[in-house]
Amino acid sequence: MNVLIHKLMKNLRIIVLTIAAVMIIPASCKPKEPTDLAMSGIIPRPVTVTATGEAFTLNSRTTVFVDAGSDEILKIGYYLVDQLNSSTGLEIAVQEAQEEPGKGSILLTLSGADHNLGEEGYVLTVTRQQVNLSAAKPAGLFRGIQTIRQIMEKDTSSEKTGSFVIPSGTITDHPEYSYRGMMLDVSRHFFGVEDVKKVIEYLSLYKINTLHLHLSDDQGWRIEIKTWPNLTAHGGSTQVGGGEGGFYTQEQYSDIVKFAADRYITIVPEIDMPGHTNAALASYPELNCDGKAPELYTGTEVGFSSLCTKKEITYKFIDDVVREISALTPGPFFHVGGDESHATKVEDYIPFINRVQDIVEKYGKQVIGWDEIALASLKPNSVAQCWASEENALKAIAQGAKILMSPAKKAYIDMQYDKSTPLGLHWAAYIEVDDSYNWDPATYIPGVTKENIIGVEAPMWTETLTKLDDIEYMMFPRLPGIAEIGWTPASLRNWDEYKFRLAKHGKIFEAMDINYYRSPRVPWEE
């Protein structure tokens, strides 16, 4: 275990070091002397940035101070110094602040912060003497650190090599939507714990706060359920194309949950039902209406499987699954799928979803489901994830439920960028980087307004994606844009300005060894 932690820390160090090393602003657009916070290319764009044209220099006397008496803030302090030290080669220490920190200090504090900043907002004030990061909540400090990661530059103004600066000024920032997510389908192709952690690392840099894991589908069941062991023993044994598949033990799932929580990212588990269930049906004959288990499935068709909604054992099965997964999941949501249940009659689908909502509620979770669940009687705290049907979205809000926006034509990051993209699908659209950026959740569906929406999520379906490299190629550079749609007010979003900020991130992707799509629509910096 320690070896693993050590390895992870090492990887993290390399990433941080390389990010900082590449944030050198090229000669062609050299900032005002010595640095310019407003030019630093932060994604998502902060709500307000005021540059003051100086810089804070990191040196061997720099110390990170945190509020005394909180283990959580101290841990965030360690996260920051880890990043700083690996980028600069310095040995900056973290200390609990006993008195007013002086010159050369970086202060992380929850005191004095404006409570309007909410759960994730922060204020970053950088002067020549000090860096002060304040927030109302620890998550805000963590988000603010991501801003520091993005704005720290190699010092090109002095002769000294290996010195780093943070441009001076003030950033006041908080997210527009409380839910900013990505979904990863680990069912069509299985991705192991290390791959998922990489994805979580990438998400944290862009202030994404949710990772939805699509844990079951026709092609594979990917999480251990102790009371139904054949789900993984048999149902997890293959994937699209017939490869060996895989699954997370409960311990591994908990490890992912913790890794995410340490980055203030919530895991939303999804068990898709009543359709998209061939892997479960193949594992337990009794879940089928005819009592016969079908073969495992390794193709990519949808809409042919259904749990037997009329059998009591089906609800016992769901109860066990929801209970076991909920016990391992600290986040508030349980995603029940509910999409494309073409093999379930609508008169069976509706009572099924109603009953499943009760089970999820019984285990203390809030339901999310794909927009079809709006056909049922939604609980007021249920969330319909809008991917295809505007009518379903309107049905959901008419029942008082909330909407999570994932319109397939804009937010599906499994779609090809254009006809020549070697990976991905195109049933919804070809989605170039500007297409995925140029939309507003609050006006996308007439009648669905900002008040109805909890946020945005970019689903990554993996019918055609077999390895982390593939995921990276479809994520980057679209994911940072979706992150900005969720974080930054619509009035501050504009592709013609955004593309220049995004252009600076090409070097970050390269330094992090991310396999990204070098879209011709982005003026990449050399």
Q: Which positions are annotated as active-site residues?
A: 340
CB of 414 to ligand NGO, least distance (A): 5
Shortest Cβ 245–ligand NGO spacing (Å): 16
For residue 111, with 0-12 CB atoms within 10 Å meaning exposed, 13-18 middle and 19 or more buried, which class applies?
A: exposed
Closest approach, Cβ 186 to ligand NGO, in A, equals: 12
- Which CB, 18 or 187, lies closer to ligand NGO? 187
Residue 119 or 340: the one with the smaller Cβ distance to ligand NGO is: 340
Give the number of other Cβ atoms within 10 Å of residue 408's Cβ.
Answer: 18
CA distances from 482 to 141, 205, 291, 475, 477 (A): 22, 13, 44, 10, 10
In the list 54, 153, 339, 435, the residue contacting ligand NGO (rule: CB under 6 A) is 339
Which CB atom, from 335 or from 501, has the smaller least distance to ligand NGO? 335
In the complex, minimum distance from the CB of residue 303 to ligand NGO, in angstroms, rounded to a whole number: 9
- Interface mask toward ligand NGO for 271-310; x: CB under 6 A: -------------------------------x--------
Site map (CB under 6 A) of ligand NGO, residues 402-441, x = contact: ----------x-x----------x----------------
Please, which residue, 72 or 340, has the CB nearer to ligand NGO?
340
For the CB of residue 248, give the shortest distance to ligand NGO in the complex, in Å: 20
Tokens of residue 326, six digits: 């909920």
Specify the residue for token string 């090409």.
506
* Site size toward ligand NGO, by CB under 6 A: 10
The set of residues, in sequence order, having a beta carbon less than 8 Å from that of 385 and lying 6+ positions away, is 335, 368, 369, 370, 371, 403, 404, 406, 457
What minimum distance in Å lies between the beta carbon of 342 and ligand NGO?
A: 11
Cβ nearer to ligand NGO, comparing 55 with 453 = 453
Residue 17 burial (10 A CB sphere; 0-12, 13-18, 19+): middle
Nearer to ligand NGO by C-beta: 139 or 445?
A: 445
Taking the complex as a whole, the smallest distance from the CB of residue 276 to ligand NGO amounts, in Å, to 6
Q: How many residues does the chain have?
A: 526
Closer residue to ligand NGO, CB minimum distance, 113 or 373: 373
Closest residue by beta carbon to ligand NGO: 461
Our finding on whether 74 is near ligand NGO (CB under 6 A) is no
Q: Where are the alpha helices (DSSP H) in 39-137?
A: 71-88
- Answer yes or no whether residue 191 interacts with ligand NGO by CB under 6 A: no
Tokens at 77, concatenated: 């302090």
- Give yes or no for residue 387 binding ligand NGO (CB under 6 A): yes
From residue 110, alpha-carbon distances to 72, 117, 121, 141, 165 in Å are: 11, 11, 11, 8, 24
Q: What letter represents residue 275's amino acid? A: G
The residues in 30-59 that bind ligand NGO, with binding defined as CB under 6 A, are none
Position 353, amino acid = I
444 part of the interface to ligand NGO, by CB under 6 A: no
Quickly tell me which residue has 């979003």 as its tokens.
493
- In whole angstroms, the minimum distance from the beta carbon of 299 to ligand NGO comes to 12
Q: Tell me if 122 sits within 8 A of 108, measured CB to CB.
A: no
Tell me if 392 sits within 8 A of 379, measured CB to CB: no
Element (H, E) at 285: none
Instruction: Enumerate long-range contacts of 365-368, CB under 8 Å, 24 or more apart.
Output: 365/322, 365/326, 365/329, 365/332, 365/333, 365/334, 366/332, 366/333, 366/334, 367/333, 367/334, 367/335, 367/336, 368/212, 368/268, 368/270, 368/333, 368/334, 368/335, 368/336, 368/404
Q: Which of residues 460-499 bind ligand NGO (CB under 6 A)?
A: 461, 463
β-bridge partners, 48: 172
In the complex, the smallest distance separating the C-beta of residue 221 from ligand NGO, rounded to whole angstroms, is: 15
Which of 474, 460, 457, 472 is closest to 509 using CA atoms?
Answer: 472
CA distance 365 to 319: 13
Per CB under 6 A, does 340 bind ligand NGO? yes
Residue 182 C-beta: closest distance to ligand NGO, Å: 14
Q: What string marks each residue from 341 to 370 as x (binds ligand NGO by CB under 6 A) or -?
A: -----------------------------x
Closest CB to ligand NGO among residues 51, 415: 415
Task: Report the residue number, 342 or 450, with the smaller CB distance to ligand NGO.
Answer: 342
* Sign of the CA dihedral running 46, 49, 51, 54: negative
302 or 328: whose CB is closer to ligand NGO? 302
Q: What would the DSSP string read from start to end of 293-362?
A: PPPP--S---S-----TT-HHHHHHHHHHHHHHHHH--SSEEEEE----TTS-HHHHHHHHHHHHHHHHH
Chain residues in the site for ligand NGO (CB under 6 A): 302, 339-340, 370, 387, 412, 414, 425, 461, 463
